[in-house]
Structure 1
Amino acid sequence: MKQLLDSVWQRRGVSWIWDDEALSIVTKPVEVYSLRELLRAAKKWPVDLPSNSGNTLVVAGLDACLDLLAPADADGWLANELKSAILSFQDEYSGEAALVFWLPAGHRRFHTDMATDAVRWRCSAPHADQQIEFGRLLWGEAREYPQEIILSEGGKPVGLFHLRIT
């Protein structure tokens, strides 16, 4: 998987981050939307986004939502509800804003198949032996993306970035 050592993820595209430093770069805690607020906002997006000088919307709670759903239900919800909200966001801001999902344990939950770059989400108990086909459901396994976000040369990945989901 390609690595991204660039700040573009802070202003454009869709990212899933799990690093505290990366989070603090783009938002303050009071500016973070809940997943419920994101789904509500998808009906009428705000003119001004709350974070990063109006360039970014940070959302928390996706991990908790996925943990509460059975894997089959999570598949359907990701492919329909969440993807619809992401596409609506991209359309509303013409690709000129960033949607960032905060997943504090994401580094332990995302699994990338090195041979195919397929990205999967490891489910929690009682479904800990299953994985959700995260990449296939949200971005259709586009090979150019996602990219691993790194904050410094040689640094560990702090998230995943996708410029535009179709």
Structure 2
Amino acid sequence: MRQLRDTVWQRRGTSWVWDEEARNQICVANEVWSLRQFLRASKAPGSWPDDLPSNGGKTLVVAGLDGSLDLLTPTDAETWLGDAIKPAILSFQDEYEGDAALTFWLPGGHNRVRAHAATDEVRWLCHMPHGHQIDLGRIFWGKANEYPQEILLRDGGRPAGLFHLRIT
């Protein structure tokens, strides 16, 4: 998987971030939206704010995706991601015309997001007792596995998250 040391993920595209230092670079706690707020804004015309709450109006950080996935069976989670979350991401992208960043805060993501080194497939490890893996690449970017990039805050560091410039 390609690695990204640039800060473009803080201003554009969609990211899934699990590193607290990375999250702190773009927002403070009271700027984070709940998943419910995010989904509500995506469904009501004119509900997206003119100025996003974080990073000088360039970023929206959303928390709660991981907890919601944990409440669902793997099959229901896949359906929900495709039927509710992906359209909400697309709505965000359309509203801001690719000139804003959407970041999903996944505090335990370093243990749950699995990138296969040989194929660049990205999967979400479901909460026990399921233990299944959800193919995020298939759901969000149609298996165009060359596009997601690992976010690195420093050379030789562990990935802080994943970045995708545009979901289609």
Fold shared by both chains (TM-score > 0.5): yes
Identity of aligned residues (%): 63
Partner SS state of residue 21, structure 1: helix
Q: Runs of 4 or more off by more than 6 Å in structure 1?
A: none
Shift of 1:126: 1.9
For 1:4 and 1:115, how far apart are their aligned partners in 2?
A: 18
Matched, 1:143 2:145: yes
Residue in 2 that maps onto 1:22: 22
What letter matches 1:147 in structure 2? Q
For 2:22 and 2:110, how far apart are their aligned partners in 1?
A: 13
What letter matches 2:27 in structure 1? T
What letter matches 1:53 in structure 2? G
Residue in 2 that maps onto 1:103: 106
Q: What is the aligned counterpart of 1:84 among 87, 93, 104? A: 87
TM-score, scaled to structure 2: 0.96
Report the number of matched residues: 165
Shift of 1:18: 0.3
Residue in 2 that maps onto 1:74: 77
Shift of 1:143: 3.0
TM-score, scaled to structure 1: 0.97
For 1:9 and 1:133, how far apart are their aligned partners in 2?
A: 22
Shift of 1:153: 1.4
Partner SS state of residue 3, structure 1: strand
Shift of 1:132: 0.7
What letter matches 2:49 in structure 1? P
Give per-residue Cα distances to partners, 1:101-134, cap 9 Å, x unaligned.
0000101001111121111100012212x11111
What letter matches 2:16 in structure 1? W
For 2:146 and 2:124, how far apart are their aligned partners in 1?
A: 19
What letter matches 1:6 in structure 2? D
- The answer on whether the counterparts of 2:137 and 2:145 sit within 8 Å (CA) in structure 1 is no
Unaligned runs of 5+ in 2: none
Residue in 2 that maps onto 1:159: 161
For 1:142 and 1:27, how far apart are their aligned partners in 2?
A: 29
For 2:99 and 2:134, how far apart are their aligned partners in 1?
A: 29
Mapping for residues 24-39 of structure 1, pairs under 5 Å:
24-39=24-39
Residue in 1 that maps onto 2:6: 6
Unaligned runs of 5+ in 1: none
Shift of 1:35: 0.4
